Amino acid sequence: MKYPAFIEAHRAVVERGLERLLPGEDVPPASIHRAMRYSVLGAGKRIRPALCLEAAGLFAGSFMGRDDSPQLTDEAPEPLVTELLTEGPVVMAQFSAEEIEDGYFDGADPERPRMADIVPVACALEFIHCYSLIHDDLPALDNDDLRRGRPTCHKVFGEAHAILAGDALLTLAFQTLAQARLTAKRSVRVLAEIATAAGTVEGMVGGQVADLEAENKPVDAAALEYIHRSKTAALICVSVVAGAIVGGGTDDDVERMRRYGQNVGWAFQVVDDILDVEQSSEALGKTAGKDAAQKKATYPALYGIEESRRIASQLVGKAMIEADHYGDRSLGLRQLAEYLVTREA
Ligand code: GRG
């Protein structure tokens, strides 16, 4: 299945947001900004930002790229919208003391953020994802030469710059989140959720550690589940959770999105394991067949390809039940879930 057509609209806005939120490559020290931009502005699928925007749209009532998208088509652009959607100057969101005090911007309804205010949150998730890819490719971890169809960051800029570019993207993510135009309450909640998902306790770094330590060892189903849910699903899950929070979902909505996200995130890594076996490096834009070569803990290794496919479909089925709660309004999240299990790269 191709990337769902209307999600392409999210992707276009996210690309522009990433471009503008990253320091320019002439900004000193230019070498680190070149490395950051090289890694972020490559051919990523932008799945995490798309999930975030789609979840936010579900609750904020704005659906970019579709006929019912009043906030982006009908309303006069505000400064950040202008920065993100037109050829304006590259600036981070700037706030007066009053705006920070209010936790919002310009008298707009704090309960109904514009999608353009949510784009920085979506971009922050992509910054964290890109940091994890840069570090994952380093010689001390996966030692890979190919990422998104191009030489990896350390191959082009050297190891020191790759380590620092990863660090800088993680830091930029939290700067971006802290400067996003959200109510103070939503802002703090989202910061805590994303920091936790990127961290060590059932988060991305913890999953990566467990993955490393499982190499060359027999791994049971529970250990494999822990690795996949922490290493990959946590960031995917928090993408929809953050979207639900900033979009104004209730606590029940946020928890429903968490269940949706846990299931699609887990399914995403199961499919990633399958693609590593079945696809070529050219199709994936990264080195295929590495899991078996490195004796990694994967679903195909433990269950075989067919059973892995069944597990992925079952997980997506569970996510669909959560999305179905919102009827037609969750069409985007349902299409994204379907894409994640049927994708070929
Ligand atoms: C602090 C040393 C240190 C490491 C950070 C490296 C790391 C922790 C975590 C790695 C987590 C990781 C790379 C998980 C794999 C997740 C995955 C399937 C990535 C591929 O995602 P896609 O397909 O990639 O969305 P694109 O390129 O489309 O964005």
What percentage of the chain carries pLDDT values higher than 90?
62
pLDDT digits (tens, 9 = 90+) for 165-180: 999 999 999 999 998 8
Give the residue whose CA is nearest to atom 27 of ligand 1: 44
pLDDT digits (tens, 9 = 90+) for 113-150: 666 778 899 999 999 999 999 999 999 999 999 999 99
Spell out the residues 6+ positions from residue 286 whose beta carbon is closer than 8 angstroms to its own.
144, 146, 147, 148
The answer to whether the CB of 71 is under 6 A from ligand 1 is no
Q: What is the pLDDT of residue 73?
A: 32
Mutate to test the pocket of ligand 1, among 15, 146, 232 (most ligand atoms within 8 A of CB): 232
First to last CA, the chain: 10
- Tens of pLDDT, residue by residue over 182-214, are 888 899 999 999 999 999 999 999 999 999 999
3-state secondary structure (DSSP) of residue 147: strand
Q: Torsion-angle region of residue 202: left (phi > 0), alpha (psi -120 to 50) or beta?
A: left
3-state secondary structure of 86: coil
Predicted pLDDT at 310: 96
Pick the atom of ligand 1 nearest to 48's CA.
Answer: 25
Q: Is 336 in the pocket of ligand 1 (CB under 6 A)?
A: no
**Strand ranges in the chain using DSSP code E only, listed in sequence order:** 146-147, 150-151
pLDDT in tens, 42-70: 899 999 999 999 999 888 875 443 434 33
Residues 186, 190: Cα–Cα separation, whole Å: 6
Q: Long-range CB contacts (< 8 A, 24+ apart) of 308-313?
A: 308/270, 308/273, 308/274, 309/274, 311/267, 311/270, 312/267, 312/270, 312/271, 312/274, 312/341, 313/267, 313/341
pTM, rounded to two decimals: 0.88
Neighbours of 303 (CB within 10 A): 17
As given in the structure block, the two tokens for residue 330 are 């969750």
Indicate the pLDDT class of residue 161, thresholds 50, 70 and 90: very high
Residues 226-274 have pLDDT tens digits of: 999 999 999 999 999 999 999 889 999 999 999 999 999 999 999 999 9
Mean pLDDT score across all residues of the chain: 85
Is the shortest distance between the CB of 272 and ligand 1 below 6 Å? yes
Backbone φ and ψ for 275, nearest 5 degrees, come out as -65, -35
Structure tokens at 106: 């310009």
Q: What is the pLDDT of residues 295-320, one digit of tens each?
A: 888 999 999 999 999 999 999 999 99
